[in-house]
Amino acid sequence: QSVLTQPPSVSGAPGQRVTISCTGSSSNIGAGYDVHWYQQLPGTAPKLLIYGNSNRPSGVPDRFSGSKSGTSASLAITGLQAEDEADYYCQSYDSSLRWVFGGGTKLTVL
Amino acid sequence: EVQLVESGGGLVQPGGSLRLSCAASGFTFSSYSMNWVRQAPGKGLEWVSYISSSSSTIYYADSVKGRFTISRDNAKNSLYLQMNSLRDEDTAVYYCARDGGLRSWFDPWGQGTLVTVSS
């Protein structure tokens, strides 16, 4: 069981908006540590998608956005495209366990 | 271009040992902390180990503490993971990843190397 909780799967039609939640606790997200998001396309290594809760690395489309509040964070994807079909992971730091990940969410584009 | 390339994976029997390497290029390796992260087949990501730029600070996940040793050679722009007393549950793709800063993110990641522990 992962320290950060994500829904196992989400889905949406092309052009729609989807959100992926990431719930932590007072020892990680609630303690003020930042949340980061990764996209893992099938058969490839994870790629940084959002860092520092809401910042996009160069090259990441502005269709991807992140937010954080209390002990939770969210990743939103607008204008869903077929190429967005992938696994998404949230990550933070925990005062006891150090670097921790969510269990991952599989995004299906219908 | 910033690049990380892992090597050294393979099939090993339970109780055996393996040494992974990660070759870095395209950035000043000696200025960055580094990590190993693994992913069991069909499972999620698990942080394994951290080493600071000067090797002065090292951390391990409880699942590998006492069995794995992380090290680096800044002169060779290389990161290593010595894995001893391997168990079935250590079977995974092992990624090296550059640290983004204090208690922060991982970017970029290497392509990964598969370690299979099986008799």
What are the tens digits of pLDDT across the range A65-74? Answer: 999 999 999 9
To the nearest whole number, what is the mean pLDDT of chain B? 97
Among B44, B50, B103, whose Cβ lies nearest the Cβ of A89?
A: B44
Counting residues of chain B whose pLDDT is more than 90, the rounded percentage is 97
Q: What is the pLDDT of residues B22-66, one digit of tens each?
A: 999 999 999 999 999 999 999 999 999 999 999 999 999 999 999
Q: What is the pLDDT of residues B82-95, one digit of tens each?
A: 999 999 999 999 99
Q: Which residues of A touch B106 (CB under 8 A)?
A: 36, 38, 46, 48, 91, 99
Identify which of B77, B58, B53 has the alpha carbon closest to the alpha carbon of residue B69.
B58
Among A33, A48, A102, whose Cβ lies nearest the Cβ of B107?
A: A48
Residue A43 makes CB contacts below 8 A (sequence gap 6+) with: none
Angle A91-A93-A97 (CA atoms, 0-180°, nearest 5)?
Answer: 110
To the nearest whole number, what is the mean pLDDT of chain A? 97
Q: How far apart are CA B15 and CA A7, in angstroms?
A: 36
Q: Testing the interface with A: which of B51, B105, B107, B109 to mutate, by most A Cβ within 10 A?
A: B105
The token duo for B14 is 């339970």
| Residues of chain B contacting A, Cβ within 8 Å | 35, 44-47, 50, 59, 61-62, 95, 100, 103-112
